[in-house]
Amino acid sequence: MVLLATFGLTVFRSLVEGIVVGFALGALLFIHRASQTTAIEEQVPPVADDVADDEGDWAPYDAAVIADPDVAVYRITGAFFFGAAAAIGTVLDSVANRHKAFVIDFAAVSFIDSTAANAIAGAMHKAQRQGVSVIVSGASLAIRRALNTHGVASPVVTFEASVDLAISAARASAVLARAKFPV
């Protein structure tokens, strides 16, 4: 489609118009495709290794360890920019209504722009108003700098190096929140 539009404008109008329109259509197509590669998914916390029943002591199955209703883990992948910020911001806004703490894993995010950082800041401030603690894990120095610039800093969010450390911190803060505000 881009090729036909560019070719048609070049032949029937002018070379300059063909180049400008072809470049604009190509840029829009690139932005659309790049925004589709960015995703957010809920992760289940890691489960302990499975061992045979006859290998010594084992604890009975505890669903609370596997699916903690107080802690949610979300992993963002891809380039996080204005094309995907609205969709991911909507998902993160809904998390604050259901959990006491949540972890956002930025380990697979290669780039973040100001629109995406602003969407994260909005979700974090909403979570803070509702008493939900937020832990960011795996954020590179550049991503942390972008988030800090937009207000995602120490009082609002805690930064951890890995998902495991973030889950431990989230569980600890969920226990504290449950002690302060029993249901």
Query: How are the residues of the chain apportioned to helix, strand and coil, as percentages rounded to the nearest 5?
Result: 50, 20, 30
pTM: 0.67
Indicate the fold that domain 37-44+67-180 takes in CATH: Transcription Regulator spoIIAA (3.30.750)
Cβ-Cβ contacts under 8 Å for 28 (sequence gap 6 or more): none
pLDDT of residue 169: 85
Closest residue by Cα to residue 134 from 116, 145, 122: 122
The mean pLDDT value for 91-105 works out to: 78
CA gap 106, 34 in Å, rounded: 17
Q: Which two tokens stand for residue 62?
A: 């505890």
> What's the pLDDT band for 62 if we cut at 50, 70, 90?
very low
Query: Is the pLDDT reported for residue 140 higher than 70?
Result: yes
CA gap 116, 44 in Å, rounded: 24
Query: Is the pLDDT reported for residue 30 higher than 50?
Result: yes
Strand pairing class (71-80; 101-112):
parallel
Q: Domain map of the chain by residue range?
A: 2-27, 37-44+67-180
